[in-house]
Amino acid sequence: MRKAGGIIALIAAGIFGIFAAGITLMVGGVGAAFKANDAHMVVGLGWGGVGFSFVVIVLGALSVTSSSRIPGMLLILASIFGAILGGTLVALFMLLAFVGGILATVGGNPRSVATA
């Protein structure tokens, strides 16, 4: 289950989260071009989404290869902060990274399973 959680986090928030953050940056840039109110805040949310998506990629890769629960716990924290600081579109994919972090944290250790 830990590998599945890491793979879910890699695909969901890592790849799709970066695309969602790019869309958020593009919307903020268009808003800034038309001098909309708080367009700079939308651009900031886009950069927050890019940053936390990269953090989720790294932690997802670590949780795939690690036997420790620490990368899964950090993945949960990064997905929460990414959902808050990344904007609405990024938050949808960070929800999937949150689920991946839970799977990576609570998933059983394959070495502890006894073979009959």
14-52 pLDDT tens trace: 789 899 999 999 999 999 999 889 889 999 999 999 999
Over 90: is that where the pLDDT of 107 sits? Answer: no
12 band by pLDDT with thresholds 50, 70 and 90? confident
Sorted by where each begins, the domain ranges of the chain are: 2-107
Mean pLDDT of the chain: 88
DSSP state of 109: P
Residue 106 CA to residue 74 CA, distance in Å, equals 13
How confident is the model at residue 2, as a pLDDT?
A: 79
